[in-house]
Amino acid sequence: MTDEQALGRLAREAVIDFRTGQDAEASQQVFCQGQNVTEVIRSQEVSRAVSQVAAVAGVREALTRAQRRLAAQRDVVMDGRDIGTVVLPQADCKIYLTASVEERALRRWKERGAKDRDQTLEDIVQDIARRDYEDTHRITSPLRPAADSILLDSTALSFQEVVEKALAFVRSVQA
């Protein structure tokens, strides 16, 4: 975790692929080196380390190139903390999706369900607040909304309401 050269090399050599899952919802699955890492990348261990690794310039450069290649191959919807400002600054449509720390923590706690209850809701609140601070204060690609993005605060919105507002914005851009 402290060897920036090794982290950069791993990021450059990683073969990351996205596939549609076989479950009823046909969810997106993430593969790295041929292994399904969808659940692993959402684990507490990864969540706690992501800001530290994401701050490494070599990792950011490698992943930015990979994300740009993916976007060049097909139309995509991407989410991430620097997609609109660094990865795809020329994107046609940019939405800065946000919610309160407490709401995001509650959503993560519910998402993890019974499979990962060794972390309290307050622990998750603290983890998210720490990551937000680290990401907004890092030197390389700090978290901030793109100047030409719209702000969509989902704190008090249902999933369907967020989808409807996002689609309305996309349609207005396409018009």
In Å, how far are 71, 95, 146, 171 from 174, measured between CA atoms?
Answer: 18, 14, 19, 5
CATH H-level superfamily of 4-174: P-loop containing nucleotide triphosphate hydrolases (3.40.50.300)
Helix (H, G, I), strand (E, B), or coil: what is residue 95?
A: strand
Q: In the prediction, which pLDDT does 17 show?
A: 85
pLDDT in tens, 17-28: 888 766 655 578
Helix (H, G, I), strand (E, B), or coil: what is residue 153?
A: strand
Return mean pLDDT, the chain: 89
Residue 142's pLDDT band (cuts 50, 70, 90): confident
User: In this structure, which long-range contacts are made by residues 117-125, counting pairs with CB atoms below 8 Å and at least 24 apart in sequence?
Assistant: 118/44, 119/44, 125/101
CA 17, 84, 26, 49: dihedral to nearest 10 degrees?
60
144: left (phi over 0), alpha (psi -120 to 50) or beta: beta
- H or E segment at 152? strand 150-153
- Spatial distance between the Cα atoms of 153 and 165, rounded to a whole number of angstroms: 10
Q: In the prediction, which pLDDT does 146 show?
A: 95
